[in-house]
Amino acid sequence: MYESVFTYDFIYIDGSHSYFQVLIDSLNSFRVLNPGGVLAFDDYGWGENLATQDHPREAIDLFLEIIDGEYNLLCKNYQVWIRKK
């Protein structure tokens, strides 16, 4: 497995709306996010009428379930912001 030598205090995920890409980006980002760092997602409310694989909401929700207890929720509306514990 690739180990990054870089860590970050802030990561903003935007771009792809693919369910799988958002999930992969989320997991990889959280791994290199410093404790106390903020991870922000754009487009949580985008494309609500599209199929699951075409919008990020369900991928973000699954990611939050996977890391339950490892973050504090800062904001959850059109965007989602969390702080890593």
Span 15-39, pLDDT tens digits: 777 889 999 999 999 999 999 999 9
Quick: pLDDT tens for 51-73.
666 778 999 999 999 999 999 99
From the list 72, 66, 68, the residue with the least C-alpha distance to 84 is 72
Of 19 and 76, the one with more pLDDT: 76
State the DSSP string of 18-79. Answer: -HHHHHHHHHHHHHHEEEEEEEEES-TTTTTTS-GGGSSHHHHHHHHHHTTTSEEEEEESSS
pLDDT at position 49 is: 74
Alpha-carbon dihedral 28, 33, 37, 39, rounded to 10 degrees: -10
**Per-residue confidence at 1, pLDDT binned at 50, 70, 90?**
low
CB 26 within 8 A of CB 41: yes
* HSE-CB of 45 using CA atoms within 13 angstroms: 6
**What percent of the chain is modeled with pLDDT above 90?**
72
pLDDT at position 15 is: 75
pLDDT exceeds 60 at position 3: yes
